[in-house]
Structure 1
């Protein structure tokens, strides 16, 4: 399993509510979390075979940006 971290613009609980169904619907993501207390709003994704570009494309569907850290 691969763990990747991304800086995001997911800034609050409402933002998190918007991105949750998108990330949960991606079958290649085993688990994920966003640290809203971090200045960088770090998204941590655990997956078997997703590239950083794949994660970016998934997060952008919800209207947010995820840049590899």
Structure 2
């Protein structure tokens, strides 16, 4: 499981990134906690950081890995 700090801020933002993350990480393998101050994206599986970051960038958002 990998976690990222994102610029995803609201439910509409989550809806916008959904097709990109579903395609790269797989439906049901990710979630965004928009109530968390860091807007944490949690991804299950072996999808690389670069692929996740690229998918979010295509949707207009950024992600930084959390340690």
Q: Could you say which TM-score interval applies, normalised by the shorter chain?
A: 0.7 to 0.9
1:23 pairs with 13, 21, 24, which one?
21
Gaps of 5+ in 1: none
Question: For residues 24-69 of structure 1, what are the alpha-carbon distances to aligned partners after superposition, in whole Å with 9 as ceiling and x for unaligned?
Answer: 122xx24000001100000001122x22122111111111001001
Instruction: Normalising by structure 1, report the TM-score.
Output: 0.85
| CA–CA distance in structure 1, aligned partners of residues 38 and 23 of structure 2 | 24
Find 2:54's aligned residue among 37, 54, 57. 57
Structure with the larger helix share:
2
TM-score (norm 2): 0.87
Count of residues in Structure 1 that have an aligned counterpart in Structure 2: 64
2:12 aligned residue:
14
Cα RMSD, aligned residues only: 1.0
